[in-house]
Structure 1
Amino acid sequence: MAKGERVDSAPLISLITINYNQAVVTCQLLESTRRLKYPRFEVIVVDNASVEDPTDLIMSGNYPNVKVVVSPVNLGFSGGNNLGMQHASGDYFFFLNNDTEVTPDLLHQLLEPFQTNPKIGITCPKIRYYDHPTVIQYAGYYPLNRYTGRTWSIGLGETDRGQHDKSGLTNFAHGAAMMASRRAVEIGGAMDESFFLYYEELDWSMQIQRAGFQIYYQASALIYHKESISVGKTNPMKVYYHTRNRLLFMRRNVSGFPLFFFVLYYFCFALTKAAIVYAVKRQTAYLVALKNAVLWHFTNKIHRPEKEVFPPVIAGV
């Protein structure tokens, strides 16, 4: 917001976060929102059918502008965020993981690109690891390799020395922290709920770009992420959704020879290698998760978007 601008003229931002059996962690995020300098925001906490309803605990904290929406079933990341949008009044939706903590001028910085470029649909901040606060997790995304289904975040694991302080267009948003304009969501659509967990933000990034919008990395915005608190570093559920959704993402967003090559690569190399590793380590639960992830594709119809989009975005910023 510009100096001297009236508070009631600032766009309303809806912060949407999902809680699943992590009420204490969610409250730590809400506590950090007290630092925000932006004058107009609300917080929507979507509880994804936790064992204990967190409403009383959250409301007892007297956090600023908080509403709790309790879902009777676990809707996953995409479904939970879609539910949050249904209860949000903002001009902008800021999706952030409950295992993050914000910095004071975060909302101001993320809002700025929208005000200068109407083609921007989503902005993302620089993300650093909470437990290693000088180490980068995200500073934009490299382009997707359509033959292997691989991409990775720029700056991942690097000590932040200012080498990724140039803002600009990027290929994908990061699900831990991404702000979308209501207009982009209304035109581009909500997140595909078939992903449930993992790859949904990559798929949604493609979806928003297909609608004519761009993804922007705002280097001056910063957030801290407590990586993998909810599901742990590795477990059968993570193996299942990573395996299933990588293939789902490619089937939805790539076609022709690149998709044919990817399927060969995935089944002949990536999945075979993973199966051998799990077998050698006698990780039976992981092998079952791998099998179920593949079988899911034989019993579920995939909805493909009408067209592919691979915008000419710079590889790094």
Structure 2
Amino acid sequence: MAVDLSFLVVNTEQRELLVRGLDAIAAERAAIEATGLTTEVLVLDNASRDGSVGAARAHAAVDRVIVNDRRRGKAENDTLLLQRAAGRYGLLLNEDSELRPGATAALVEALDADPEAGAAGAQLLRPDGTWQPCAWRFPTPATALAGALFLHRRITVQSRGDRTRRVDWAQSAAMLVRTEAAAQIGWLDPMFFVYSDEVDFCKRLSLAGWHTLYVPSAEAIHHEQLSTGAVPERRIVELSRNRDRYMRKHHSRLAAWAVRWLTAYTYLVRSLVAVVVPGHDPRRYRRHVSATLRPDEGEGLREAAYERNKGGARL
């Protein structure tokens, strides 16, 4: 049966954060249904071993739990949820995203008011409540140059202001998607295991005549487990790999080459500054430099998932 809104959560080994996020969804669901809209809640567990499946099945807000028997990438998991969803809108959420009161209603209102919008991203908050950048211009040599000149916050970041506005792309940690638009462009590209998947998704929406919105009145706390958790080496490799994959998919070889070198230069400068600035690790910035210049080398999160699926290293 068709519904108005599907809450769609992907969880990977984060039971406590998952339950916290589902509690927030329960409150949002009650508020949305009080307006007459119908909803459902789907959770996809990405082959967790920490009791997440049982916690999801036991939660009163959850209608259906999909269990992966193998660890899969974010784009593939988000696509599966969107395909299984009965809602005309699907609210993609990470397990580490916690909706603030009224966020869902604000996102729905934004898409209802703009029939040409294919997606709408919430304003993400750090756990301390401060805003974090969550919408940007599409990556190009120009945005890479802005980064090299340390003008990215002024030129590239688009999540600013207190009004709903068009942006190039928004982070998918809390993104409402028009399922009709997602189906039209062939969902998310599974070649992006994680990182740049939503950039490519929003780019293809744009090429198909849709656009993406940034909705500052919709807020969600983002605990950033994926970006700050374990295995930083593999995360750096995956980030660099998929940045380059996006450029090669949507731009020329020359443009991809320019972005590599400008981005590497930016990280090199940061590594030098980190030597004298407390709280920064110059070695990590240097690893970004090498991974950016050689994106096809090293093992990323995709390889870590393969190892885990074979019974080896865990993510």
TM-score normalised by the chain length of structure 1: 0.75
Q: 1:191 aligns with which of 188, 191, 208?
A: 188
- Matched with 1:140 is 135
Conservation of the 8 A alpha-carbon contact between 1:23 and 1:54: yes
**Cα distance in 1 between the residues matched to 2:21 and 2:141:** 36
**Cα distance in 2 between the residues matched to 1:223 and 1:76:** 23
For residue 275 of structure 1, report the CA deviation from its aligned partner.
9.9
- Matched with 1:115 is 112
For residue 15 of structure 1, report the CA deviation from its aligned partner.
1.2
Conservation of the 8 A alpha-carbon contact between 1:125 and 1:218: yes
- Matched with 2:48 is 50
C-alpha distance after superposition, 1:31-88 (max 9, x if no partner) = 11122110122111111111245222222232x2431100111112111111212321
**Cα distance in 2 between the residues matched to 1:273 and 1:57:** 45
- Matched with 1:300 is none
Give 1 or 2: higher helix fraction: 2
Q: 2:10 aligns with which of 15, 18, 21?
A: 18
Q: 1:217 aligns with which of 203, 214, 217?
A: 214
Do the aligned partners of residues 293 and 145 (structure 1) sit closer, same or farther apart at CA in structure 2, a change above 3 Å counting? closer
TM-score normalised by the chain length of structure 2: 0.76
**1:203 and 2:167 matched:** no
The unaligned stretches of length 5 or more in structure 1 are 1-7, 156-162, 298-317
- Matched with 2:296 is 294
Conservation of the 8 A alpha-carbon contact between 1:22 and 1:230: no
In the TM superposition, 1:124-139 aligns within 5 A as 124-129=121-126, 131-133=127-129, 135-138=130-133
**Cα distance in 1 between the residues matched to 2:95 and 2:267:** 31
**Cα distance in 2 between the residues matched to 1:233 and 1:48:** 17
For residue 219 of structure 1, report the CA deviation from its aligned partner.
2.2
Aligned residues: 276
Q: 2:71 aligns with which of 69, 74, 93?
A: 74
What letter corresponds to residue 11 of structure 2 in structure 1? N
**Cα distance in 2 between the residues matched to 1:77 and 1:66:** 21
For residue 293 of structure 1, report the CA deviation from its aligned partner.
3.8
**Cα distance in 1 between the residues matched to 2:243 and 2:138:** 15
SS in 2 for 1:137: coil
For residue 229 of structure 1, report the CA deviation from its aligned partner.
5.6
- Matched with 1:38 is 32
**1:182 and 2:179 matched:** yes
**Cα distance in 2 between the residues matched to 1:95 and 1:227:** 15
C-alpha distance after superposition, 1:179-201 (max 9, x if no partner) = 11111112122111111111111
In the TM superposition, 1:144-155 aligns within 5 A as 144-147=139-142, 149=144, 152-154=156-158
Instruction: Give the % identical residues.
Output: 22
- Matched with 1:96 is 93
Do the aligned partners of residues 58 and 264 (structure 1) sit closer, same or farther apart at CA in structure 2, a change above 3 Å counting? closer
CA RMSD of aligned residues (A): 3.3
SS in 2 for 1:107: helix
